[in-house]
Structure formats: C-alpha cells, structure tokens
Amino acid sequence: MVGRAVVVGAGMAGLASAGALSRSGWRVTLLERAERVAAPPTALVLWPNGRRALEALDPSGGWSSIASPLPDGGVRRPDGQWLVTPRGRAGSGPAPAAVRLEDLYDVLIAGLGDYVQMRTGFAVTTIRTGPGLRPSVSDGRTTIEADLVVAADGIDSCVRRALAPEAAAVGSGFADWQAVVPAYRLSSEHTTGGETLGAGYRFISIPLGVGKGVYWVATAAGAPRPESPATQLELLRRWFAGWPEPVGELLAATSPEDLVPHEVRELRPLPRAYGFPSGPGGVVLLGDAAHAMPHHLGQGACLAFEDAATLAALVSDAPPGPDLVAAIEMYCRLRRPRTTSVVRQTRRMSAVVQARGRLALRARDAALNHMRPRMMAPTPDWSPPD
C-alpha cells in the first residue's frame, strides 16, 4: 500500500524529508507558509554526521558538488593569541564541508521527484489527531488528511504547539549576525577560516571555496538590536575593531543588504516526544520543530538531516497501519536521546561563549587548550539506521 504524507514546512528539513519519502514510494504533499520557497542568503557547515545523513537521504550525491572542504582555522583571542592552533584533520569518515544555502536548496528542490506536490501560501493553523483518526492539517479553509504528518515548520511550529505545548521557544541570551561576502569584494582569496573568542563576543569566518567568497557569523551576548541593518553593521565594526584579520576586512566588505540578524532562540524544555501515533500512522516532529538550539556547535541543520534520514529509513517499508505506527514510535526512541545529548553539549558551549571577567576567561582559555569548541558534539558516532 502506498502511504500518503504531508510535510509541513519547506525549509531544509522539510525539503530533505519530502524528497526522501518520495524516493521510497510515498506520495507527498509539501506545504509552505510563504508564497515561494527561498533560501536565506547565508551558508552552513556540514559536519561528518550531516554529510552521512545527506548521503543516506540522496545517494546520488548531487549536494556534494556544491560543498567545499572546511579548513581548520583554529581559535584565537581578540589580541591574536592562539587558544587552539590550526591543525590537520584527524579521524575517519567524511570531512566537514561548507555550502551556500541557496545552492543546497536548489539541490534539495531538484530531488523532490514526481511524487511530491508542493503548495505554497498554505499556513497550517490546526492539526487533528486521535484514536482511529488519520492525522490531518488545515489552514482554516482546506483540510488535508494523510497517513503521516511531518512537522518541519521550525521553532515556532504550529504542529508542535498543539501536540507538545510544554516545549516553549525562548531566547538564549544571544544575538547573531550572518553574511556571505562575495569574493570580488575581498583583496585576496581566503582559504582558511577560523574563529575568535572575546568576552561575550565571537566571530567565525568560513571560506566557501575558490571564487565563492566567505561566510561569517558574529555573536554577541544580549538581546537583538532594534536598529536598521546599516546601523547594526556599524555597531559590529565598532565592537570588533582591532580584532585579528580577517574580521575587519570581512566587516568592511559587508554591505547592509548582506546582513542577516537573528535572535538566537531554543526550545526549553524539549518536547516530551517526537512521535505521536494517530489512526494508521501519526505525526513526527523534525528539525527545529523538535530540538531548536543555539548555533554554537553548528549542529542544527545536521541534526535535522539526521532526523530526515532516520525517518525515511524507518517508514520506507512500513505501510499504513501497525507497521507505520511502530515506525513512528521507533523514530521517537532513536531521535530524542540523540538530540538531547547534543542540546546538552550546545548549552555547555553557551557558557563558554558567555564567559566574562578575568577568572572566567582564564578558565575558558585553559579549557580550550584541550578541546575544539566547534567539534564537541558527538558527530562521528552517528549513522543512519539499517
């Protein structure tokens, strides 16, 4: 029996899930609140677990042609002193890589296949579940039933609020700013990235490959700023003045139109469950709808791809009925402990980024001599279920 799925949200997690389900024979309706699907003009790092997940989701590997190897640039203080010196990559498995979101979205959309129907301008407002009921979603005008509903609608997920209201989206005490600087604005080709840690401030630069420019992320403790992008950019230049290059060059080459500011938010507590059986199937939470966390370890998108790969593997041979219900329950048993562990480590990294005061900074600097802050999450030990 061919199953029918509704995927709510056409971001990275939703696109990856819809494509993987369709490739295993599911008929999928992909719902997006916005009038069109558009990638943010930023980038991300695919850590080894994220690369394994994408390989499981799409064995054709179309995404690999758009990814660039991520060099290890080390960690410095604002005075230029090394806290973690650059070194060659250790360990086995796929190497970390950087990819522009616009390129990744293009690949994910191209991989949706003929079994996916996309509907934009569809803002889900209600979800119905219950014993004996096929789960359904509605925008107040149209109701769509399915055997499986995948909630990939982000940290403000309407589906999660209905099924797991205990999980609230709260501020993490940080704001961040991101941008991609085109290569033509830079004086030279940047081949090494890295990060600089100050007292409550952090700056990360990531080269995107030859001729593709540099992606940077700046983080500051405190609330998001209300000023215009131009004023916020001037504030960033002032806050990070005197920091070692390429910080100054990248900020100088950034225009206000490039700047993407965020309030860093997270779910506290995490939902009690990621799977909710209903009738012949049920609902699953995926990506930020399930485990939104601060970006300090760069694991948000990678965990979302893990979610999608796990779900696709579990339901590929699970027809609607007891088999699909069992697959949904197994998804929850596999994913919640995994994401809880990574969220816990991300919160520990928050304390490192927030360190202020002489004693706290001295303790932080000593600890960083023995660890690599952007790779603390247990990324190498994950692989998709058989």
Instruction: Please write the tens of the pLDDT for every residue from 25-39.
Output: 999 999 999 999 999
**Average pLDDT of span 258-282:** 97
- Give the integer Cα–Cα distance in Å for 365 and 129: 50
Q: pTM for the whole thing?
A: 0.94
- In this structure, of 115-124, 161-170, 194-203, 282-291, the range with the lowest mean pLDDT score is 194-203
CATH architecture of 3-69+98-170+267-356: 3-Layer(bba) Sandwich (3.50)
- Give the integer Cα–Cα distance in Å for 162 and 28: 22
With a CB cutoff of 8 Å and minimum separation 6, the contacts of 361 are: 199, 355
- Give the integer Cα–Cα distance in Å for 30 and 171: 29
Instruction: Please write the tens of the pLDDT for every residue from 321-374.
Output: 999 999 999 999 999 999 999 999 888 877 777 777 777 677 777 766 665 544
* The two structure tokens encoding residue 104: 């990744």
Residue 224 burial (C-beta neighbours within 10 Å; 0-12, 13-18, 19+) = middle
- Give the integer Cα–Cα distance in Å for 284 and 14: 12
